[in-house]
Amino acid sequence: MLIVPAIDLKGGKVVRLVGGDFSEEIVYGEDPVEVARKFEAAGAAWLHVIDLDGALTGTPRHLKQVTEIAKSVKIPVQTGGGIRSAEAIERYLKAGVRRVILGTKACLHEGFITESVQKHGDRIAAAVDVKDGRVTIEGWVRREWMGPKALVDRLLDQGVKTIIYTDASRDGKLLGPAVETLKEILDFLGDRASFIASGGIGTLNDLKQLMPLEAVGLDGVIVGRALYDGKIDLKEAIAQCSPKGSSPASMSKPAGSSKGSGS
């Protein structure tokens, strides 16, 4: 199970939101590149970088910082937040980002993500962000009518091979993951795509609770505030939850592969 550190950017700084609330932010650093290098030095195989301002406004605001991160580390970077045009995707991929995450646009415009996947393949991932059982978009401030399974099913039909599922109501609260909900989504997903979970991780035991879900398709877990608050040591988490190590490509599963081979 891949442990993926999160770097959330707001106003050029590294922050964490509490429960997806933009009025509740905690600033953890002024230099995103320094944070990225520390995570790489601790053994991270991937980085998850989100432009919070971009997610809220619909236009990328941190291309410069994301580019600097991608150029400063040797491990792959996936990024999202306000990426809602073909031009924006191209800019990030040319900047050295390994994978672009589409959220709001993936939810609202079916043709866009279909075309993006056809052009860029597994360099496109889709975000499924959920609050109170419903998909939430536009920086987690707008909730849609659909539940997560309906969106996941549609994304799979459109060729998406990586789903990043976030429990926005738990994100940044250190309450622990909703294990049963994740299992339900994984059972529905089957072996059709890679699945990365996010939201609520507060302790090493939280990560260990999720390890049995590898058998039903959990490929990675994104960890944010718990790393910054010192509640989880990244090196220890990798040693205990990824004992065999994980290659940088392990979060991209080709169609038809077995669920046990993702990490």
Which positions are annotated as active-site residues? 8, 129
Please list, in sequence order, all residues whose beta carbon lies within 8 angstroms of the beta carbon of residue 182, skipping any fewer than 6 positions away: 165, 197, 210, 213, 218
Name residue, tokens 């987690």. Answer: 140
Q: Residue 133: name the closest of 122, 148, 155 by CA.
A: 148
Radius of gyration in angstroms for the set of CA atoms belonging to the chain, rounded to a whole number: 16
Six-digit token string for 91: 């800019």
Q: Residue 29: name the closest of 44, 50, 8 by CA.
A: 8
Q: What share of the chain is helix, strand, coil (3-state, %, to 5)?
A: 40, 25, 35
